[in-house]
Amino acid sequence: MNEKTNDITVLKIGGSVITDKSSDEGVAKEKSIMRIAREISFFEGRLIIVHGAGSFGHPQAQRYALADKFSAEGSAVTHRSV
């Protein structure tokens, strides 16, 4: 990258890519995480990484039906699990 720019790239890594969403417990896919980290290490720009909750948050979000309605308790439980 020869030119200086203010461009920022936002990369969202889906929770199902880095965790086993079918699990009721938080199960990280370590090989996937290592592969993604290796690929990201070659990026030379400004980068913001965000991620989904995957198996760490989806069971709680589903239990409290957060996709359908707001629940302060459900949001807090889901947030703590991630």
DSSP notation for 9-29? EEEEE-HHHHB-TT-SS--B-
Dihedral sign for Cα atoms in the order 65, 66, 72, 75: positive
Q: How confident is the model at residue 3 (pLDDT cuts 50, 70, 90)?
A: low
Q: How confident is the model at residue 6 (pLDDT cuts 50, 70, 90)?
A: confident
51-78 pLDDT per residue, tens: 887 777 888 888 999 999 999 999 999 8
3-class state of residue 38 by DSSP? helix
